[in-house]
Chains A and B, each alone.
Chain A
Amino acid sequence: MTAVETDARATGRLGAGRVGEDAQRPDGTLKVTGEFAYASDLWHDDMVWGVTLRSPHPHARIRRIDVTEALTVPGVTAVLTADDVPGENAFGLEHADQPVLAADVVRYEGEPVALVAADHPETARRAAARIRVDYEVLPALTDPRRALDEDAPPVHPGGNLVRHLPLRRGEQGRTAPVVVSVDVEVGMQDQAFLGPESGLAVPAEDGGVDLFVATQWLHVDQRQICLALGMPPEKVRVTLAGVGGAFGGREDLSVHVHACLLALRTGRPVKMSYGREESFYGHVHRHPAWLSYEFGAEPDGTLVYARATVLLDGGAYASSTGAVVGNAGTLGLGPYRIPNVTVDAYGVFTNNPPCGAMRGFGCVQAAFAHEALMDSLADAVGVDRVEIRRRNGLREGDRNITGQVIDSAAPVAELLDRVAALPLPPPADTSDIRALPGAVGNTTHGEGVRRGIGYAVTYKNVGFSEGFDDYSTARVRLQVTGGEAVATVHTAAAEVGQGLVTVQQQIARTELGVQQVVVVPADTSVGSAGSTSASRQTYVTGGAVQAACAAVRTAVLQRAAVALDRPLTGLRLDGEEVVGPGGEVLTGLADVLGDDAVEETREYRHRPTHAVDPETGQGDAHVQFAFSAHRAVVDVDVELGLVKVVALDTAQDVGRAINPDAVVGQIHGGSAQGMGLALMEEVVVTDGHVRNPSFTDYLLPTILDMPPMQVEVLEYADPHAPYGVRGVGEPPTISSGPAVAAAVRDACGRPLRRVPIRPEHITGV
């Protein structure tokens, strides 16, 4: 076949790639040709392969580890255990409570116990199988609802409570004319990024190590690696390798320290790359949750009080459970005005797989409860399900349940109106079984199929909360090379697929007026960018790039003012030229800069947030809120319990879309993940064992499962954020699942208090 015209601007969709225009990814071509180097693609002369031996038990004492046999396998270059960790044998995002390699106790199935390096991955795996670990199996605490009982065995010496967040607002013990309540259970979801955990560690001549790894936050990785290696940061240089999706699952360490340990021991580059099964053990999951909610309301549906208990299973180590509890508590009643509130959110330790960050972070679980309850309330008072939400929805200037004033747009009612106004799909076409539940399984030709419609709305904090010093750093350089002005942007912000590299280019083009912008690989040779999570990078790293560009621009114009002997005011950069107040060209950038480069580095911080009161949970915990609403339409075969999602439409306020096309892409993908949790995605854990660690048994939405999506993007600029942006990535994952669950309830008429919804829940057998 022949190539087509490559000038996308011919299609009329693309502008010059500035802020607010649809811009193409700078890495798009490399990704479609297979040339983009993901972490699992890395290769080095002379490299060896590292593998991890993991615990088969959820709880056991290690009596003895014998590595002699493994060491005799030809091709093996190193076998390491806890004794070989030179620094502190501990890591963790919020608390360093997790051993790099288990020393005396294993606390979950899949906990790393030993490492092997060999010249072929299969050799390494076989050698690992010959390590003899003598375990004394201990009773495992696997029911989080028992974790805080008096007689529950402590998973850690300090007990099983990771965090309890109480929220008390208004009058306690209130009553109301209308009372509805619900108990909801949410299963454990996996991020299921497609690119496996991988990295390449290269020993350096200075005795340090260079690590190339797929991750979300280079500097926090570096801090933890240094602790374990007992090395200063200048000896541990971390560079972002190509990331095949993240969704929270790469916030904690995986191969990082292990690969470095093996590289330093063998003196050779070491590559580690998990298979899919190991990946299920190798990263944290979304917390399973048990939620008990009660709403009291006036006869017209106006909320009077809410009482809620949220229990999150944190698994064996803390990871980010504390912050997830913070969200599940402070945001856990949804985007509603509720004057009297009693909430208790708990995160506990068990011997289940560790849980931590995943897209939506604590709000996802809570939304299934508050949205189910809003439907119950609507039915109880005889008000339409959209109207009940409109009536109680937060508006700008309202206080939320922690007493924080919502100081920019809070368009709950408008989002609902917009999504409700979108065209509905036509009735099921029973002549085409591909369009029906069960599809080519040929389970129905329309008999027993009922249609249901469900709505949900949410809000989510953007950026790190509760007083965290949340900032990013950007270094921007401007120079003229080969007669063309080129801006170079350097940050440590992780591009994980979301399109931050494009955003950085767009901001630099906008601020500096240049067309050529190079985003160099993210690494630790520049200051921290914070995490690629909490929907924060466009806001915070975007703010840093904007600030650094502004500083570069000022420096260049100052030079021009001196050279031209004119006042600085009124000068601006336009393309390759410096222009005056009337737009007249005064001089060229090449003349101003010559062979010099102007480089500036800036940090950007969003407005400070504050810790909440430990007794009442009150306080200005968050810096920004992002709102979205979904409407799901489903056809359900109520006899077999099969669901076909027919439409999944949404409206979201994004503040300002830097790259509208990419914003819509985020909304599509986020919606798919929420739908997945509602209907199919669950890491099934029984007695502390993961039962389905594969893509055969952990079901992800395919292209056949996803319906067409109509997306309405609203842009109510946040006056406090750079360009008015509002975080985009997470809200869709929060509101889509509850909308799907509501639609299935609507179709089958059953309460459905557990997600993912299984066929037997729908049929009731």
Chain B
Amino acid sequence: MRVVTTVNGTEQVADDVWPGESLLYLLRERLGLPGAKNACEQGECGSCTVHLDGEPVCACLVAAGQAIGRSVTTVEGLSGADGLHPVQQAFVEAGAVQCGFCTPGLVVMASDLLARVPRPTDPEIREALAGNLCRCTGYEKILDAVRLAASRQARP
């Protein structure tokens, strides 16, 4: 099957896609975008989180064919020409990255939260990131990072 989809603002075409392939496989193995990670491929860890038409989804649970004609934003599309996304910058500075395998999913999810809720409370941050597993950090510095990004965003 042929899949035509817009990824990070650019139209992408993939041919000979097997119908059982996930959007995650399409991105990672066919489109050269391995930023979204493959930690469970079962919707449990959030490492593969991307935006599909603006909604955060687990790319491992979306069939590649479901992305036809739609718009996908991956972690590679978060930062722009003017540098890192504020959430990415905060993750680096707050020490929220150790092995970093959870990080792409978390920064996509946290950026989604801050776009919806500019000043989230701690319970709101925890709720929003509850589907993203991290095995290294115990989440403390991930909370720090989201708080830091939120406080900078709130600055006039």
Which residues on A are within 8 Å of B, measured CB to CB? 1-4, 6, 8, 11, 13, 22, 24-25, 27-29, 31-38, 40-41, 43, 120, 122, 191-196, 243-247, 273, 275-276, 432, 434-435, 496-499, 661-662, 664-665, 668-673, 694-696, 700-704, 706, 708-709
Contacts and interface: CB of A to CB of B under 8 A. Distances in A.
A497 B89 contact: no
Contact of B84 (A11, A22, A32, A670): A32
Interface in B48-105: 74-76, 78-80, 82-86, 88-93, 95, 97-104
A164 B93 CA distance: 48
Given A665-B137, A668-B138, A695-B133, A704 B84 contact: no
Nearest to B123: A434
Interface of B: 18, 20-21, 28-29, 32-42, 44-45, 47, 74-76, 78-80, 82-86, 88-93, 95, 97-104, 107, 111, 123, 125-127, 129-143, 152-153
Contacts of B80: 3
13 contacts: A32-B92, A32-B104, A43-B29, A191-B135, A194-B134, A243-B99, A245-B99, A247-B135, A276-B41, A432-B123, A497-B99, A700-B135, A709-B138
B83 A244 contact: no
Nearest to B16: A120
A192 B99 CA distance: 13
A122 B18 contact: yes
Identify the 9 closest CB pairs spanning chains A and B, nearest first.
A34-B35, A497-B99, A31-B100, A244-B101, A3-B83, A668-B138, A672-B138, A695-B44, A41-B34
B141 A32 contact: no
Interface hub of A33, A246, A276, A696 (most chain B Cβ within 10 A): A33
B41 A275 contact: yes
Given A24-B92, A665-B98, A244 B76 contact: no
Contacts of B85: 1, 3
A704 B126 contact: yes
A276 B86 contact: no
A37 to B, nearest CB: 8
A3 B84 CA distance: 6
A723 B32 CA distance: 43
Nearest to B92: A28
A145 to B, nearest CB: 31
Contacts of B28: 41
B44 A28 contact: no
Contact of A244 (B89, B99, B123, B153): B99
A695 B132 CA distance: 12
Contact of B126 (A246, A695, A703): A703
A650 to B, nearest CB: 11
Contacts of B126: 703-704
Given A24-B92, A702-B132, 16 more contacts: A1-B111, A3-B85, A28-B97, A32-B97, A32-B107, A120-B18, A195-B39, A244-B100, A245-B99, A276-B41, A662-B95, A668-B137, A672-B138, A702-B133, A703-B139, A706-B139
A498 B99 CA distance: 7
A245 B18 CA distance: 31
Nearest to A245: B99
A273 B86 contact: no
A35 B84 CA distance: 12
A11 B145 CA distance: 13
Contact of A245 (B40, B90, B101): B101
A196 B24 CA distance: 15
Interface hub of A1, A4, A120, A695 (most chain B Cβ within 10 A): A4
Given A1-B85, A276-B39, A702-B133, A195 B139 contact: no
Given A194-B133, A665-B95, A706 B138 contact: yes
Contacts of B38: 40, 196, 273
Contact of B86 (A1, A40, A435): A1
Given A34-B75, A276-B42, A496 B138 contact: no
A540 to B, nearest CB: 20
Interface hub of A3, A276, A661, A673 (most chain B Cβ within 10 A): A3
Contacts of B47: 194
Contacts of B42: 276, 694-696
Contacts of B82: 2-3
Nearest to B85: A1
A442 to B, nearest CB: 15
A576 to B, nearest CB: 27
Nearest to B44: A695
Given A3-B84, A4-B152, A32-B107, A695 B40 contact: yes
A765 B100 CA distance: 42
A696 B18 CA distance: 26
A195 B34 CA distance: 13
Contacts of B93: 8, 11, 13, 24
Contacts of B141: 664-665, 668
A6 B101 contact: no
Contact of A33 (B84, B98, B111, B127): B84
A499 B141 CA distance: 14
Contacts of A706: 138-140
A27 B20 CA distance: 34
Nearest to A670: B138
A193 B38 CA distance: 12
Nearest to A23: B95
A633 B89 CA distance: 33
A38 B37 CA distance: 9
Given A276-B40, A661-B95, A672-B138, A195 B45 contact: no
B114 to A, nearest CB: 8
